[in-house]
Amino acid sequence: MEKPIFSPAFTVEDIGKLREWNYERQKHMTEEERNADNARRAASGRARLEEARRRLRTDVEKSKE
């Protein structure tokens, strides 16, 4: 199953697509593999959030000048 394409508004239907995609991707993994996969993806998400926060702080600082 290919990664789903989400709507710009990220709707309830998109959440369902994401859950189904994750299930299909992980259904043959062991519990340890699933935990490692989830930890890796969570770390990636945290890094993306931190980068977005850094950019936002930079933009706010520039707007104050």
Domain limits, the chain: 32-65
Low-confidence ranges of the chain (pLDDT < 50): none
pTM: 0.66
**pLDDT digit string, tens, across residues 46-55:** 999 999 999 9
Residues 48, 15, 4, 56, Cα dihedral to 10°: -20
6 contacts: CB under 8 Å, gap ≥ 6:
14, 17, 18
